[in-house]
Structure 1
Amino acid sequence: MDKFQKLKELVASVEADADKFYSKQNSAAGTRVRKAMQDLKNLAQEIRTEVTEKKNTK
Protein backbone atom coordinates (compact mmCIF):
# COMPACT_ATOMS: atom_id res chain seq x y z
CA MET A 1 0.00 0.00 0.00
CA ASP A 2 3.01 2.29 0.48
CA LYS A 3 3.72 2.27 -3.25
CA PHE A 4 0.12 3.19 -4.02
CA GLN A 5 0.35 6.15 -1.64
CA LYS A 6 3.61 7.19 -3.30
CA LEU A 7 1.86 7.00 -6.68
CA LYS A 8 -0.89 9.35 -5.48
CA GLU A 9 1.67 11.79 -4.08
CA LEU A 10 3.58 11.80 -7.37
CA VAL A 11 0.42 12.59 -9.33
CA ALA A 12 -0.38 15.44 -6.94
CA SER A 13 3.15 16.82 -7.16
CA VAL A 14 3.15 17.01 -10.96
CA GLU A 15 -0.21 18.79 -11.18
CA ALA A 16 1.30 22.29 -10.97
CA ASP A 17 3.82 21.55 -13.74
CA ALA A 18 1.09 20.07 -15.94
CA ASP A 19 -0.92 23.26 -15.50
CA LYS A 20 2.11 25.39 -16.37
CA PHE A 21 2.78 23.33 -19.47
CA TYR A 22 -0.76 23.19 -20.82
CA SER A 23 -1.92 26.68 -19.78
CA LYS A 24 1.24 28.73 -20.19
CA GLN A 25 3.15 26.61 -22.73
CA ASN A 26 6.13 26.45 -20.36
CA SER A 27 8.42 23.91 -22.06
CA ALA A 28 10.57 23.35 -18.96
CA ALA A 29 7.43 22.33 -17.08
CA GLY A 30 6.67 19.93 -19.95
CA THR A 31 10.03 18.27 -19.41
CA ARG A 32 9.26 17.84 -15.73
CA VAL A 33 5.85 16.39 -16.60
CA ARG A 34 7.43 13.89 -18.97
CA LYS A 35 9.91 12.78 -16.29
CA ALA A 36 7.13 12.44 -13.72
CA MET A 37 5.05 10.39 -16.19
CA GLN A 38 8.00 8.03 -16.69
CA ASP A 39 8.34 7.70 -12.91
CA LEU A 40 4.60 7.01 -12.68
CA LYS A 41 4.87 4.34 -15.35
CA ASN A 42 7.71 2.60 -13.53
CA LEU A 43 5.97 2.80 -10.16
CA ALA A 44 2.72 1.50 -11.66
CA GLN A 45 4.61 -1.45 -13.12
CA GLU A 46 6.12 -2.20 -9.71
CA ILE A 47 2.65 -2.14 -8.17
CA ARG A 48 1.30 -4.44 -10.89
CA THR A 49 4.12 -6.91 -10.27
CA GLU A 50 3.58 -6.78 -6.52
CA VAL A 51 -0.19 -7.34 -6.89
CA THR A 52 0.35 -10.26 -9.26
CA GLU A 53 2.85 -11.91 -6.90
CA LYS A 54 0.55 -11.44 -3.93
CA LYS A 55 -2.44 -12.77 -5.86
CA ASN A 56 -0.56 -15.86 -7.06
CA THR A 57 0.74 -16.80 -3.60
CA LYS A 58 -2.77 -17.28 -2.24
Structure 2
Amino acid sequence: MSKFSELKSLVESLEADFTKFYDQGNKAAGTRVRNGMQAMKTMAQEIRSEVQEIKNKDK
Protein backbone atom coordinates (compact mmCIF):
# COMPACT_ATOMS: atom_id res chain seq x y z
CA MET A 1 0.00 0.00 0.00
CA SER A 2 3.01 2.29 0.35
CA LYS A 3 3.26 2.73 -3.43
CA PHE A 4 -0.30 4.05 -3.44
CA SER A 5 0.65 6.54 -0.73
CA GLU A 6 3.66 7.62 -2.78
CA LEU A 7 1.44 8.12 -5.83
CA LYS A 8 -1.04 10.18 -3.83
CA SER A 9 1.76 12.27 -2.40
CA LEU A 10 3.16 12.93 -5.87
CA VAL A 11 -0.24 14.05 -7.17
CA GLU A 12 -0.68 16.39 -4.22
CA SER A 13 2.80 17.84 -4.68
CA LEU A 14 2.02 18.72 -8.31
CA GLU A 15 -1.17 20.62 -7.51
CA ALA A 16 0.58 23.97 -7.04
CA ASP A 17 2.51 23.54 -10.29
CA PHE A 18 -0.71 22.74 -12.19
CA THR A 19 -2.22 25.96 -10.88
CA LYS A 20 0.87 28.00 -11.73
CA PHE A 21 0.98 26.60 -15.24
CA TYR A 22 -2.70 26.70 -16.20
CA ASP A 23 -3.79 29.83 -14.34
CA GLN A 24 -0.65 31.93 -14.40
CA GLY A 25 1.09 30.68 -17.54
CA ASN A 26 4.31 29.77 -15.73
CA LYS A 27 6.28 27.69 -18.25
CA ALA A 28 8.75 26.34 -15.66
CA ALA A 29 5.79 24.96 -13.72
CA GLY A 30 4.67 23.24 -16.93
CA THR A 31 8.03 21.49 -17.12
CA ARG A 32 7.66 20.32 -13.52
CA VAL A 33 4.15 19.07 -14.30
CA ARG A 34 5.44 17.10 -17.29
CA ASN A 35 8.24 15.57 -15.22
CA GLY A 36 5.81 14.70 -12.46
CA MET A 37 3.39 13.11 -14.90
CA GLN A 38 6.21 10.98 -16.31
CA ALA A 39 7.09 9.87 -12.78
CA MET A 40 3.41 8.99 -12.20
CA LYS A 41 3.36 6.95 -15.39
CA THR A 42 6.41 4.98 -14.27
CA MET A 43 5.00 4.51 -10.78
CA ALA A 44 1.64 3.37 -12.17
CA GLN A 45 3.37 0.74 -14.31
CA GLU A 46 5.29 -0.52 -11.28
CA ILE A 47 2.06 -0.80 -9.30
CA ARG A 48 0.35 -2.63 -12.17
CA SER A 49 3.22 -5.12 -12.37
CA GLU A 50 3.16 -5.67 -8.62
CA VAL A 51 -0.61 -6.26 -8.60
CA GLN A 52 -0.32 -8.71 -11.49
CA GLU A 53 2.50 -10.57 -9.76
CA ILE A 54 0.50 -10.89 -6.51
CA LYS A 55 -2.60 -11.94 -8.42
CA ASN A 56 -0.71 -14.65 -10.34
CA LYS A 57 1.05 -15.89 -7.20
CA ASP A 58 -2.31 -16.83 -5.65
CA LYS A 59 -3.15 -19.19 -8.53
TM-score by length of 1: 0.99
Q: Counterpart of 2:5?
A: 5
CA positional deviation for 1:37 = 0.1
1:17 is paired with a residue whose SS is helix
Aligned residue-pair number: 58
**Structure 2 counterpart of 1:14, which letter?**
L
Moved over 2 A (4+): none
- Aligned-residue Cα RMSD (Å) equals 0.3
- Structure 2: tracts of 5 or more residues without a match: none
- Structure 1: tracts of 5 or more residues without a match: none
Same amino acid, percent of matched pairs: 60
The alignment status of 1:50 with 2:50, answered yes or no, reads: yes
1:10-49 to structure 2, matched below 5 A, reads 10-49=10-49
TM-score by length of 2: 0.97
